[in-house]
Amino acid sequence: MAQILDLTKTYSKTDIKKAKEEAAQYDEPAAGGYVCKIVDAELREDKQYVVLNLDIAEGKYEGYYQRLEDRAGFWGLKYYASYKETVLNKFIKLCASFETCNPGFAFDPFRKGGADIDTLKGKTLGFVIGYEEYEKNDGSIGTRVRVSNFTEIKKIKAGKFKVPELKKIMRQKHVTGDEDFMKIPDNMDEIPFA
């Protein structure tokens, strides 16, 4: 026997329209390039990086992460800008990009006296976001947003960026015995380590 759910007597067309509009506010941005503004910046000298809280500044998803924070109580889009020696060239490029994308703004932490991290608040830059898998507390696999890269705003608007693929979690294969140990292909003539 069919189970029919008929909500026409429960909700009016106005109720349904309003619910659809509200649901659209919670649509997650797709992986891609976005013009973002810095909402907050925090210097973590102990770890040698700056944490940038980002929000989308233009288009359909403008203000998405602020609404998420208001609703769920956490900031969903962060960029960790390391200034360790191994990635110093990328940090220098980030500083220059802020200046390029925000005419008249100067951010030079390499000059005497440094640069005030708080001056980054409200500045805009292009960011490419993607998604990655992660293991939830219950052991299931979920997805979360991650910043893949930054670039100039004009490149975002021109579509000159690479959309990252979903970053899959490395799944451990549970071996109960030695059934997977030393599997040698049938077409192998010699054992290389014998």
Residue 178, amino acid: D
83 DSSP 8-state letter = -
pLDDT for 174 equals 47
**Domain range summary for the chain, segments of one domain joined by +:** 30-157
- Give the integer Cα–Cα distance in Å for 69 and 85: 33
pLDDT tens per residue, range 129-169 = 999 999 999 999 999 999 999 999 999 999 999 999 999 98
Q: Is the pLDDT of residue 38 over 50?
A: yes
pLDDT for 10 equals 86
Look at 128 and 3; give whichever has higher pLDDT.
128
Q: How many CB atoms within 10 Å of residue 36?
A: 26
Residue 142, amino acid: G
- Give the integer Cα–Cα distance in Å for 142 and 192: 40
C-beta contacts of 12-15 below 8 A and 24+ residues apart: none
